[in-house]
Structure 1
Amino acid sequence: MPDRPQPLLQLGEQYTELLAALDRSAALRRALALLADGSEVAWVAGSDPMEELSIEQLIGHRTGVLRALQVPPGGGLTGKVHQSGRAEWVDDYLASPEITHVFDRHMSTEGIRRLLAVPLVRNGESLGVLAVGSRRYGAFGDREVEHACEVAAQAALAMSIAERARLTREIAVHEERRRLAADLHDSVGALLFAIGSGVADLADAASADPELRARLDRLQHQAADATTALRESLRTLRYSPATLALGVALRADCAAFADRTGIPAELVILDEDPPELPASRSDVLLAAVREALLNVEKHAHASAVTVSVRRSGPLLNVAVHDDGIGLDPDHRPGLGLTNVAEALGRLGGSVRVVSDPDGGAVWRAQLPC
């Protein structure tokens, strides 16, 4: 087989690079590879909607202590840089007075002597922190810091591009689902209507034969049930990916709660057409509901839980209602509820927990939609 022409090889390489740029994980791994050599470990800690950090990409590690590590606000150098928004480094991690030492055991286990961390920022939005740790003694120089900042800028750009690509794919899928829903409505919906009407006419004509009339009545009811099922399916197909994902995620959270606790948890969506939330708002709301379910699990002594979603004007209302022992008279919000209130408040939302006069407690969150 003859060798492929050089332009085709170059085109293939460019296509591979483009695909990697559209894949968040692959893009971050490439960025980390630009920083770490054989004696170094590097990671990207991404921030979630509650502004908490966790390590999502990691290379050069020799143990598992850093994998998926949660970083509290201001914790270690990574957490400090996330809060300060500027590059910082320590040349002797274990002895530095400039950072908290909540991760000394992790750094010692990995043999990391010094650490450099750079914020990932794109268009003023904080996306996380990129860090590189060296197992060699020494000091970070200006050139190393400058190189890390350049790589961080590339990584932030790659994360932004990957997010836009994801949104583009979601839009394409949504449009195809809408087209499919319209086709099914015009074809299967019309056919079911015709079948139902035809069976109704036959039933009227067969009034003299009770047995045949009963069989036709059953067919008519089955056609009506099929029409109702089709209508529900078409409604789901018309949901945007974001709206559909919110419902799927809430159902998954209810199922996980039930599996964990043995307490039944039901999701009730009270709107024919739930509003679409941006991913950032949806993620905050999901995190808040998980915190509410966790509180029910810990404190409520409930036998059943209901999660309801309802739109009221410009607000989306989500309630978690349990039938447990209710709130103590001297109830004070804990750290989890306080964090949820702050996260929702930053988006113009609110949360409150009250006792239900009929028993149990109701957690209610509102978020502009």
Structure 2
Amino acid sequence: MDPTELTREHAELVGLLDRRAAVRAALDLLRAEGDVAWVAEPVDSSDDLVLAQLAGDRTGLLRGLTVPRGLGLTGKVHASATPSWVDDYLGSAEITHTFDRVIDLEGVQRLLAVPVRRDDRVLGVLAVGARSAGTFGGRAAERAEAVAHEVALAAAVAERARLAREVAVHEERSRIAADLHDSVGALLFAIGSGMAGLSEAVGADPELARRLARLQDQASEASAALRDSLRTLRASPAALELSVMLQEDCSAFSDRTGVPAELVMLDDPPSLAPSRADVVVAGVREALLNVEKHAGASAVVVSVARRGGALVVAVTDDGTGLSAGHTSGIGLTTTSDAVGRLGGTLRVLPDPHGGTTWRLELPC
């Protein structure tokens, strides 16, 4: 199959938000090069890979097989992050023979493996094996890399969609918490205040006083329970905290100005220490304030990515750009100093076509 046609067909997978479905479709495409195909994915935070999904296997021995980094062809490609193949698996001197028994029972004679990469990260390894003699060669590797590229893209799309759903759920929970605070919370406060007023008018009736005191205690307990529930509703998972805070600032900016501000998470958000997250959020807030005051923009994008071990946050607008002789104000200088103390950098860059990009890089 022509590489362009293969890429075109597999590009349809990007629309699938089910990552497993995307991988299954990729394996079916890859089997055009051989008889059995699999994807090996990381396990938690270890260096091991696990053969998570397969197509065309016979014995079941490959399913769930753990592959340490560097072992076998799959482990070798995981370690090197470059495509590789062997046309005589059992006789090859280029790989370890840790998995010879399983490969032999599967009847695989030759194997091709390529890394599944997203930017500078290896997300896994895609492999295809053939049960007949022959050679894979460079063209087969190119076709497999095209499929691996689309698998990585589909995985990224699925992850972004998952994150967007989780942020949306958190926003809805926050809205419900605010509604409960304004309605039920206010009602409980009114009930407590009313009973406190009644207790002063009870006089010498001890039974009525006792019953009112009990009702006051129950109202107080209900208020405490409501506060605990509201804290739980408003809480966000650690992995979402940065996304949630930045989304709230984008929404607030749009509400104030009427200018759309979109948050785009290009990679998984890191879990930052509170002090570092505060610097990032405060910086973005200052950047949005500057856009509001000076840019005359019609649209703003806040993007978050991870590049080479650093968190990269950019605020880009399509406004008038930097004026001649522009100098940094107190807000930008303060943010730059705070970022610098954490080992990061902050730059404000003009766009040749108009607009400005505020770019923060912070080790994470």
Shorter-chain TM-score above 0.5: yes
CA shift for structure 1 position 151: 0.8
1:154 aligns with 2:154: no
Instruction: Report what 2:21 is aligned to.
Output: 26
* AA in 2 matched with 1:26: A
Instruction: Report what 1:97 is aligned to.
Output: 93
CA shift for structure 1 position 39: 6.3
Instruction: Report what 2:236 is aligned to.
Output: 240
Distance in 2 (alpha carbons) for counterparts of 1:224 and 1:105: 69
Identify which range, 77-86 or 55-64, moves more after superposition. Answer: 55-64
Deviations 1:68-95 (A, max 9, x none): 2222121211111011010001112222
* AA in 1 matched with 2:70: G
Instruction: Report what 1:43 is aligned to.
Output: 38
Counterparts in 2 of 1:54 and 1:207: CA distance versus 1, 3 Å: farther
CA shift for structure 1 position 215: 2.1
Instruction: Report what 1:127 is aligned to.
Output: 123
Distance in 2 (alpha carbons) for counterparts of 1:280 and 1:80: 29
1:136 aligns with 2:159: no
Correspondence for 1:183 among 179, 191, 214:
179
Instruction: Report what 1:264 is aligned to.
Output: none
Distance in 1 (alpha carbons) for counterparts of 2:269 and 2:98: 29
Q: Structure 2-normalised TM-score? A: 0.60
Distance in 1 (alpha carbons) for counterparts of 2:38 and 2:175: 42
CA shift for structure 1 position 62: 2.1
Asked whether the 8 Å contact 2:181–2:230 carries over to 1, the reply is yes
Correspondence for 1:52 among 42, 48, 52:
48
CA RMSD of aligned residues (A): 3.1
Asked whether the 8 Å contact 1:242–1:279 carries over to 2, the reply is no
Distance in 2 (alpha carbons) for counterparts of 1:244 and 1:227: 28
Distance in 2 (alpha carbons) for counterparts of 1:170 and 1:189: 26
Q: Which runs of 5+ in 1 are unaligned?
A: 1-13, 246-277, 286-310, 316-345, 349-367
1:194-233 equivalent positions in 2, closer than 5 A: 194-233=190-229
Distance in 2 (alpha carbons) for counterparts of 1:200 and 1:74: 73
* AA in 2 matched with 1:203: S
Deviations 1:5-55 (A, max 9, x none): xxxxxxxxx9xx578522211111111110115961111112243343222
1:1-369 equivalent positions in 2, closer than 5 A: 21-37=16-32, 40-47=35-42, 48-242=44-238, 313-314=275-276
Counterparts in 2 of 1:160 and 1:71: CA distance versus 1, 3 Å: same
Distance in 2 (alpha carbons) for counterparts of 1:137 and 1:159: 33
Distance in 2 (alpha carbons) for counterparts of 1:209 and 1:223: 21
Question: Residue 220 of structure 1: SS of its match in structure 2?
Answer: helix
Asked whether the 8 Å contact 2:34–2:131 carries over to 1, the reply is yes
Distance in 1 (alpha carbons) for counterparts of 2:97 and 2:211: 77
Counterparts in 2 of 1:123 and 1:145: CA distance versus 1, 3 Å: same
Counterparts in 2 of 1:280 and 1:64: CA distance versus 1, 3 Å: farther
CA shift for structure 1 position 279: 5.5
CA shift for structure 1 position 148: 0.8
Deviations 1:94-144 (A, max 9, x none): 222211222223222322222110001122221111111122222213332
Question: Residue 30 of structure 2: SS of its match in structure 1?
Answer: coil
